């Protein structure tokens, strides 16, 4: 999966979590989307299952926006 | 030029939650070790950790409010995702009681009715219903208060005028403290014993709303004035020393001053944490692991306490209070981490199965 597809997948997953508005790639996971730890954890588990990779916890220290998450996950798929 | 680190990331907040969860478990462990060893005078660290539980709980609610986002849709779904965890944990606690009964040679249903009532009533360690003393399922009160508090805050946020929201939330808190102070109930455990912790939830909603306001006004990441910080910290320390907060039993030795001091203490703690901690530290990564799972760790901690009954492990008394505390803490953390990993593996399997079914 390329970066754009990963980004699209993440956006559709977040939208399915009942967010009220369309998800902007530059939206902050906390401040704009108000995602909770449990939801982010579910999203990460879903990405791991879909992409067949392990996503280490520590990437969440660098992830602020939806795009950041897509970049980190894409980098990990390249390292697989 | 050195790149500025963004600390407003979910990992940083999870790490703080992880640290708070550890302090709560440590507090319960110290109390158990002191009980086993029948220590009359608690070591200073035991007293300090025990007394800091109030500020820890306050901080937890304020962080939850900071991460809170008002929603138009999906409130019910979010509530039921918490309720599901509460129900799964309740089943776990009931099974833990049955296993405990089996190994202690008593009837399989010994204390079971009082425990189930306690789970659905929302019992504190002092709750009595129609003359029957209920069993308090350890830390589950926190889960109920958090779950119901989040739902109530979502409803209150639907009020369009901020003034009315402030009046509802802070007015509720002030009415409670007036009632508490004027009715002569001060110091009576528990102050009120209504089902499902309505007062505790009201107090928690106030704290969550303060967390929300901190985010909306971007207070935490602004440079603070030194004199303001020192005043807040001094006030928090004075209240910490002279007061006593027990949110689960609605006990506040200094009344509303305890509440205000607890907020000052919690906000100071968060502000210091943000400024001092570095996301690259290894310990932050470990704490983040715990914090991300805090909504599971609280119920798991309740289950392991009901199952193992550390206060009945009298053999630990011979080791002395400090070794007993260290042993219990290490064993507790090992059990919690193990159960967390089992749950995660199960969740992953369910996820893969769901995906295969969808394909």
Q: Which residue ranges make up each domain of chain B?
A: 1-51+278-359, 67-276
Q: Determine the pLDDT at residue B224.
A: 80
- On chain B, the residues whose CB falls within 8 A of the CB of A30 are 8-10, 13, 67
User: B326-357 burial string, b = 16+ CB within 10 Å, else e?
Assistant: ebbbeebbebbeebbeeeeeeeeeebeeeeee
Nearest-angstrom CA–CA distance, A43 and A41:
5
CA B88 to chain centre: 18
Determine the 3-state secondary structure of B253 from DSSP: coil
Q: Encode pLDDT of A17-36 as tens digits.
A: 766 678 899 998 888 888 88
- Cβ-defined contact of B12 to A17 (cutoff 8 Å): no
Nearest-angstrom CA–CA distance, B127 and B190:
7
Average confidence (pLDDT) over B15-33:
95
Q: Hey, which residues 49-68 in chain A have their CB within 8 Å of chain B?
A: 49-50, 57-58, 60-64
CATH architecture of A3-79: Orthogonal Bundle (1.10)
Tokens of residue B70, six digits:
């008002």
Q: Which of B213, B277, B207, B269 is nearest to B237 (CA)?
A: B269
Determine the 3-state secondary structure of B223 from DSSP: coil
Determine the 3-state secondary structure of B141 from DSSP: helix
CA B113 to chain centre: 25
Tokens of residue A58, six digits:
């520590």
Three-point CA angle B92, B332, B53, nearest 5°? 95
Average confidence (pLDDT) over B81-89:
93
Q: Encode pLDDT of B282-296 as tens digits.
A: 899 899 999 989 989
Q: Hey, which residues 65-84 in chain B have their CB within 8 Å of chain A?
A: 67-74, 77-78, 81
- Cβ-defined contact of B8 to A41 (cutoff 8 Å): no
- First vs last C-alpha separation in chain B: 49
Q: Encode pLDDT of B97-141 as tens digits.
A: 999 999 999 999 889 999 999 999 998 888 888 888 999 888 899
Residue ranges of alpha helices (H) inside A1-80 are: 3-15, 37-51, 66-79
- On chain B, the residues whose CB falls within 8 A of the CB of A12 are none
Average confidence (pLDDT) over B4-22:
87
B46 Cβ contact list (under 8 Å, min separation 6)? B30, B31, B33, B34, B321, B325
**Helices (runs of H) and strands (runs of E) counted in chain B:** 13, 4
- Cβ-defined contact of B9 to A41 (cutoff 8 Å): no
Q: Which of B305, B266, B298, B254 is nearest to B145 (CA)?
A: B298
Q: Encode pLDDT of B202-211 as tens digits.
A: 999 999 999 9
**CB distance from B220 to chain A under 8 Å?**
no
**Mutual angle of helices B282-292 and B10-36, in 10-degree steps:** 80
Tokens of residue A21, six digits:
């508005």
- First vs last C-alpha separation in chain A: 12
- Cβ-defined contact of A20 to B215 (cutoff 8 Å): no
Nearest-angstrom CA–CA distance, B313 and B311:
6
Where residue B1 falls among pLDDT bands split at 50, 70, 90? Answer: very low
Distance (Å) from the C-alpha of residue A16 to the closest C-alpha of chain B?
Answer: 10
Element (H, E) at B61: helix B53-66
Neighbours of A22 (CB within 10 A): 8
Chain A nearest-CA residue for B352: A49
Tokens of residue A52, six digits:
């067949």
Q: Determine the pLDDT at residue B212.
A: 94
Q: Which of A49, A62, A26, A70 is nearest to B288 (CA)?
A: A62
- For B71, B333, B357, the CA distances from B158, given in Å and listed in that order, are 9, 40, 38
Task: Round the CA-based radius of gyration of chain A to a whole number and report it.
Answer: 11
Element (H, E) at B2: none
Average confidence (pLDDT) over B317-321:
92
Q: Determine the pLDDT at residue B7.
A: 77
């Amino acid at each position: 999966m390329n970066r754009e597809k990963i980004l699209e997948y993440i956006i559709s997953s977040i939208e399915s979590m009942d967010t009220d508005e369309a998800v902007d790639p530059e939206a902050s996971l906390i401040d704009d989307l108000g995602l909770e730890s449990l939801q982010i954890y579910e999203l990460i588990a879903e990405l791991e299952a879909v992409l067949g990779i392990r996503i280490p916890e520590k990437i969440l220290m660098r992830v602020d926006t939806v795009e950041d998450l897509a970049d980190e996950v894409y980098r990990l798929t390249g390292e697989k | 030029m050195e790149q500025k680190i963004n600390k407003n990331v979910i990992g940083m907040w999870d790490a703080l939650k992880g640290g708070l969860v550890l302090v709560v478990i440590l507090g319960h462990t110290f109390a158990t070790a002191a009980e086993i060893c029948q220590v009359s005078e608690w070591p200073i660290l035991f007293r300090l950790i025990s007394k800091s539980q109030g500020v820890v709980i306050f901080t937890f609610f304020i962080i939850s409010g900071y991460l809170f986002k008002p929603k138009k849709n999906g409130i019910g779904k979010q509530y039921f995702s918490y309720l599901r965890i509460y129900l799964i944990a309740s089943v776990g606690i009931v099974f833990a009681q049955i296993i405990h009964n089996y190994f202690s040679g008593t009837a399989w249903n010994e204390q079971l009715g009082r425990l189930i009532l306690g789970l659905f009533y929302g019992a504190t360690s002092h709750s009595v219903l129609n003359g029957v003393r209920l069993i308090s399922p350890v830390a589950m009160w926190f889960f109920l208060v958090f779950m119901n508090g989040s739902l109530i805050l979502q409803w209150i946020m639907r009020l369009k005028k901020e003034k009315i929201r402030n009046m509802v939330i802070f007015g509720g808190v002030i009415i409670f403290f007036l009632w508490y102070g004027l009715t002569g109930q001060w110091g009576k455990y528990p102050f009120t014993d209504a089902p499902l912790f309505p007062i505790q939830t009201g107090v928690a909603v106030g704290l969550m709303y303060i967390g929300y306001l901190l985010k909306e006004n971007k207070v935490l990441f602004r440079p603070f004035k030194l004199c303001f910080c020192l005043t807040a910290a001094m006030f928090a320390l004075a209240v910490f020393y002279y007061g006593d907060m027990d949110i689960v039993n609605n006990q506040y030795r200094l009344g509303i001053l305890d509440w205000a001091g607890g907020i000052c203490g919690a906000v100071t703690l968060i502000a210091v944490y943000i400024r001092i901690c570095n996301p690259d530290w290894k310990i932050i990564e470990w704490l983040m692991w715990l914090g991300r799972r805090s909504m599971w760790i609280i119920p798991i901690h309740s289950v392991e306490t009901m199952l193992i009954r550390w206060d009945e492990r009298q053999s630990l008394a011979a080791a002395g209070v400090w070794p007993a505390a260290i042993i219990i803490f290490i064993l507790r953390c090992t059990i919690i981490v193990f159960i967390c990993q089992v749950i995660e593996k199960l969740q992953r399997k369910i996820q893969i199965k769901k995906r295969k079914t969808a394909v």
